[in-house]
Structure 1
Amino acid sequence: MKTKIAVLGAGSWGSMLAAILDANGHEVQLWTRSAEQANELNQHHTNSHYIHDYTFSASLQATTDLEAALTDATDILFIVPAQATRSVAQDVNQILAKLGTKPALIHGSKGLETKTYLRISQVLAETIDPNHRTSIAVLSGPSHAEGVTQHDPTLVTVASDDFDAAKHFQKLFMNEYFRVYTNSDVIGVEFGGALKNIIALASGALAGLGYGDNSRAALMTRGVAEISRLGVSFGANPLTFAGLSGMGDVIVTATSTNSRNYRAGYQLGQGVPLDEVVSNMGMVIEGIATSQAAYDLAQTTGISMPITEAIHAVLEQKETVPDAIHALMTREGQTENG
């Protein structure tokens, strides 16, 4: 059955998820704050700032009118930057109250809210009244928009406390090049998706310094270990971190130049100041804000997260990348499973 889906956020991943839903035969309204971007999508069917050399279907429509996007929508996909989710959700809550509708919610943002340290599903649950939503789910996994444009077989996870909601979104998104698995571990899926960006920054920094396969394999493996430690302390299933939204997402994000976090880390490794890195990127680097939230959580909980602490020190300009690597490598010996 054809449904109307509001996709909030027209960055690279938001616009490609919208394209997938459109290709699957659903009515999709893509919302953006930028009138210029909406006009480009509607008139030229391109999104050149985020996706190069790709033409969207003419049936995919963009708008800057949030109420128009939400009207008659049975489902809402939030794909805005983590730090913008609360403000957008507050606007959505007001409009849903006015419309009197109760759609299913899903998000694909990968980050933690700074200061509150909340996961994105928690921000949505706190901000959007239960009377204005039927369920909350999260979509995550090893996926770059650039690969989806080529129909590169992509596998992701949809997690929800409501199994029917997870199955619902699995059916909406899945097709011959985009395979979706269900999961009930929302905590693990969100922590994996958020914290892998920190590992991607570190991996890019290693590459920027000229280090090779050995160092990055070690980084990713130990990175998953510390992500798992923190996630499990909040109730996550440790097996989740061996799956698509854990190790899978770390691999794709920490090895690919399609990852803006990896590219940002690469520049840091080459000695480019952080403010220049942010300016050069022209897009949100989720790992920067997430590293602060993860660092604070590690300090509060007493969870050992040496890679996160090292990246935090670099971003705070307390250590250079070479000094941070030296400090990590010369730490007191540990047991691998400790």
Structure 2
Amino acid sequence: MKKQNLSKTAVIGAGSWGTALSLVLASNYDTVALWGHKRSDIAKLQSERENKKYLSGFILPENIHPVSNLGDAVKGCDIVTMVVPSHGFREVYRNVAPLLEEKCCVVSAVKGIEISSLMTMSQVIDDINKELQIAKRIRTAVLSGPSFAKEVAQNLPTAVTIGCSDIDTAKYLQKCFVTPTFRVYAATDVIGLEISAALKNIVAIGAGICDGLGYGMNTRAALITRGIAELTRFGVAVGADRETFFGLSGIGDLMLTCTGDLSRNRSVGLKLGQGIKLEQIIEEMDMVAEGVKTTRSVYGLAQKLNIDMPILEQVYEILYNNKDCSKAVEDLLKRELKIE
């Protein structure tokens, strides 16, 4: 596959996923600016050329430039990829937005929902663009799919979807991100891609809980299957296309996150099932497990919209009301019998 030889792009967020995406984009761009909010971390990236804190073992090529100044990062970019945790997304993007070039496309690669507003990240982007009166000159897109950062950095074959309401923009972005080992599909169902990406983390926590309790593969298969039913039900209720949930960002990402040892959300559930308290789990983690916060925001939205989501409800009770994990599974199994 021929290198695109594009000029400059920026990745906002120097965690594991942001670093992995910068490695992907470095195959197509002359310059990739990798921004991080901690100057000390960026200084180490500049000197060591390796993100030892979040994605060790991968040397940054010369065309990746770690920076701590947002203006330096986004200057001259027609595409800026946002890869910061959902709880800090609004604050960071509010600082990014005024600095963007005319007709810049902002790609969210964040799998979460804002707790305070119950907005997806693309909705947060659009909200700030309207607030700052720059909506007409900024395009919004999302990237989603089954993609552990470490495996992407290892150049192991990976397939994802990039979505934009304008299919021509989606196709352009598709070419900007694609590499010989990073296959990209184009789509227009932005809300579906975001909802499936966010909600699968909740189901992954549930899958980890079941594994931590010592339940078998029958249990895991049942949870994944009923989990995709919940994701689809929720997504359709908020305007997503049903078919999206049976693609890469839906069942694909759900299967990966519920079964993979690299899944942070499954790891949280695994420890909960083993009897470790949530506070201790979070304290010991270096990276964010988006599903913990997403559970709270989605629970609020599901209640508001009156959507039946029994797995979500039990995960919420475990995370925020200290419900016993075994009792949660028992209550799921005792529910009224239904037709599938």
Equivalent position to 2:205, from 201, 206, 226:
201
Q: Which residue of 1 aligns with 2:113?
A: 112
Question: 1:163 offset after TM fit, Å?
Answer: 1.1
Paired amino acid for 1:251:
M
TM-score by length of 1: 0.96
Equivalent position to 1:7, from 11, 14, 17:
11
Q: Which residue of 2 aligns with 1:190?
A: 194
Matches of 2:127 and 2:140 in 1, distance apart? 11
Corresponding position: 1:135 with 2:136 = no
Question: 1:25 offset after TM fit, Å?
Answer: 3.3
CA RMSD of the aligned region, Å?
1.3
Matches of 1:191 and 1:93 in 2, distance apart? 23
Q: Pairwise mapping of residues 93-112 of structure 1 onto structure 2 (< 5 A)?
A: 93-96=97-100, 101-112=102-113
Paired amino acid for 1:103:
C
Corresponding position: 1:253 with 2:257 = yes
Per-residue CA distance 1:140-197 (angstroms, 9 max, x = gap): 0000011112211000000110112111110001011000001111111100000000
Q: Which residue of 1 aligns with 2:178?
A: 174
Contact 1:195 1:227 in 2 (8 A): yes
Matches of 1:125 and 1:101 in 2, distance apart? 15
Paired amino acid for 1:111:
G
Question: 1:318 offset after TM fit, Å?
Answer: 4.1
Equivalent position to 1:34, from 32, 38, 63:
38
Contact 1:101 1:132 in 2 (8 A): no
Matches of 1:62 and 1:139 in 2, distance apart? 22
Equivalent position to 1:270, from 271, 274, 277:
274
Q: Pairwise mapping of residues 296-307 of structure 1 onto structure 2 (< 5 A)?
A: 296-307=300-311
Corresponding position: 1:20 with 2:21 = no
Q: Which residue of 2 aligns with 1:65?
A: 69
Equivalent position to 2:80, from 68, 76, 86:
76
Q: Which residue of 2 aligns with 1:327?
A: 331
Matches of 1:245 and 1:160 in 2, distance apart? 14
Q: Report which stretch shifted further, 11-20 or 49-58.
A: 49-58
Classify the secondary structure of the residue corresponding to 2:80.
strand
Equivalent position to 2:312, from 308, 317, 333:
308
Per-residue CA distance 1:270-304 (angstroms, 9 max, x = gap): 11111001011122111011101111111111111
Per-residue CA distance 1:88-119 (angstroms, 9 max, x = gap): 111112333xxx64411111000000021101
Structure 2 stretches lacking a partner, 5+ long: none
Matches of 2:12 and 2:293 in 1, distance apart? 21
Matches of 1:290 and 1:144 in 2, distance apart? 19
Structure 1 stretches lacking a partner, 5+ long: none
Percent of residue pairs identical: 39
Paired amino acid for 2:221:
A
Matches of 1:27 and 1:179 in 2, distance apart? 21
TM-score by length of 2: 0.95
Contact 2:24 2:153 in 1 (8 A): no
Q: Which residue of 2 aligns with 1:293?
A: 297
Q: Which residue of 2 aligns with 1:237?
A: 241
Q: Which residue of 1 aligns with 2:126?
A: 125
Classify the secondary structure of the residue corresponding to 2:29.
coil
Classify the secondary structure of the residue corresponding to 1:28.
strand
Contact 2:193 2:250 in 1 (8 A): yes
Corresponding position: 1:146 with 2:147 = no
Per-residue CA distance 1:218-268 (angstroms, 9 max, x = gap): 111100100110100111111100000000000111111211111111111
Matches of 1:16 and 1:291 in 2, distance apart? 26
